[in-house]
Structures are given as C-alpha cells and as structure tokens.
Amino acid sequence: MPVLAPTALHALQSHLLAMPPARALQPSVEGFVAGRLRLRAPLAANVNDKGSAFGGSLASMMTLAAWGLTTLQVEHAGLDAEVYVADSQLRYLTPLREDLLVEAWLDDDRDWAGFLSTLRSRGRARTTVHAQVLLGDGAPAATATSRYAAILRRG
C-alpha cells in the first residue's frame, strides 16, 4: 500500500475543482488511509427537494472517489494515463441528511501491482473499485461497484 505525499492529495483536490460539474458538488479530499480515499461534500450543495442528499450527487461523489483513487495509484506509479469509469452498479440504501462522506477502495480480489503491470505492458488496464457514502454511524447510505479503465497517453 503506497504512502502518498500530501502534495498528491492536494493535486487531486485541484483536479476535482477544475471540473465544473464536480466543483458544483464542493468536494474536498479528506484523506487516504489504509488504501481508502475519502472525499467529503456539504449537504447544502447537494440537497434535494426532500431535504436529503440528491441521488445524482451520491453517484457523482462515489464516481469521483473511485476515479480519484485509481488516478492516484497510476500517478504514484509514475505513469501518464487517462482514467475512465467503464461501468457502475449503484445501490441507494437510505436517505442521507448530513454531509456526504465517501470512501473508495480496490476490490479485495484485485491488487494495484497487477493493474499497474498490465497498464505498463499493454498500455491499458482495468480494475474494480468499490465506493460508499457513509452515514454518521459508519453504515452505508449508498454503495457502488465500478470498473475503471486506464489508458497510457502516447506522446
């Protein structure tokens, strides 16, 4: 499990805020601990007509967290690649009436070394990443399982 420099998390924060749709969510990088990337966003910027978090915001934040985790791993390996979400399966479990706290982690059946080795040798690779939006008690309010692809830039 890599130890990421604070500058890597700061660069990810800047990258997120450079995308207008993501900026509207007001995400902040909370940290990277035990292989999990955490993002946070205020409920006030993501509220729906029922006073709970908008489902699209939950989906977007889980996508950003999983994409961010994959991007951090690629960059930490010194590779120059584009990272894309290929597909996602989402589940909304309960309304969220607090700030959005999202975490993403690599599927237990995968490892970053294999993903990065394939990316180096074939110029492209894919992996499965999980994400969840957490309630204050740590239970999930929403979950996502997604496949992410990385393609080396040719330059």
* DSSP assignment string, 116-141: HHHHHHHSEEEEEEEEEEEPTTS-EE
- Phi first, then psi: what are they for 143, rounded to 5°? -135, 155
What pLDDT, on the 0 to 100 scale, is given for residue 155?
A: 66
Q: What is the pTM for the complete model shown?
A: 0.95
Q: How many CB atoms lie within 10 A of CB 30?
A: 18
What pLDDT, on the 0 to 100 scale, is given for residue 51?
A: 96
What pLDDT, on the 0 to 100 scale, is given for residue 2?
A: 64
**Which DSSP string do the residues of 81-116 spell out, in sequence order?**
EEEEEEEEEEEE-S---S-EEEEEEE-TT--HHHHH
* Distance in angstroms (rounded) separating the CA atoms of residues 99 and 143: 16
* Distance in angstroms (rounded) separating the CA atoms of residues 84 and 86: 6
Three-state SS annotation for 14-69? HHHHCCHHHHHHCCEEEEEECCEEEEEECHHHCECCCCCECHHHHHHHHHHHHHHH
Going residue by residue through the chain, which has 155 residues, state the pLDDT in tens, using 9 for 90 and above. Answer: 566 777 999 999 999 999 999 999 999 999 999 999 999 999 999 999 999 999 999 999 999 999 999 999 999 999 999 999 999 999 999 999 999 999 999 999 999 999 999 999 999 999 999 999 999 999 999 999 999 999 999 86
What pLDDT, on the 0 to 100 scale, is given for residue 41?
A: 98
133 is written with which tokens?
């939006």
What pLDDT, on the 0 to 100 scale, is given for residue 1?
A: 52
Domain annotation for the chain: domains and CATH numbers: 6-152 (3.10.129.10)
* Distance in angstroms (rounded) separating the CA atoms of residues 74 and 76: 6
